[in-house]
Amino acid sequence: TFQVAQVTECKNFSRARPVAAQLVDAVDWGCQLQVVDPIPPNLAYLGIRAHHIKFMRQANQPNTFPAWLAMISETQHRVTVYIKLHRQPESPQDYHLQAEVYRERWELLKSRPFPWNVQLNPTHIIMMSC
């Protein structure tokens, strides 16, 4: 459920609608996502954990979208990257997703030109009923 996902520190949520047998519309993220699990009855939300978001070199994998950096938040070992899908953000608070990466990965990622290719792996999409 939505509450369980929140308690287990899932940070990324979108309202959701089924489109086809293995395809859902992530309303708040503005994209359709392939999923591997059966779509539950009364699907209401999708989620993905921040550490499951991947930054790809190419956009040749399912659920890979162009993304731009809105802002970052740093700790000693990790960086939370706030990203906007499909277009540049209008402000630091204009983002769709929070991704967590180790600082070493961030040092490589931050020099890449935009848009970045962000993947929401179908095996990591959490589907929640209302």
> Per residue in 45-76, pLDDT tens?
999 999 999 999 999 999 999 999 999 999 99
Question: The pTM is what?
Answer: 0.91
Q: Structure tokens of 57?
A: 């070199």
Q: How does DSSP classify residue 28?
A: G
Question: Would you tell me how many other CB atoms lie within 10 Å of the CB of residue 47?
Answer: 22
Q: How far apart are CA 14 and CA 16, in angstroms?
A: 6
* Sign of the dihedral defined by the CA atoms of residues 82, 125, 11, 96, in that order: positive
CA distance 55 to 109: 8
pLDDT digits (tens, 9 = 90+) for 78-118: 999 999 999 999 999 999 999 999 999 999 999 999 999 99
What residue spans define the domains of the chain? 2-129
* Cβ contact 66:86 at 8 Å: yes
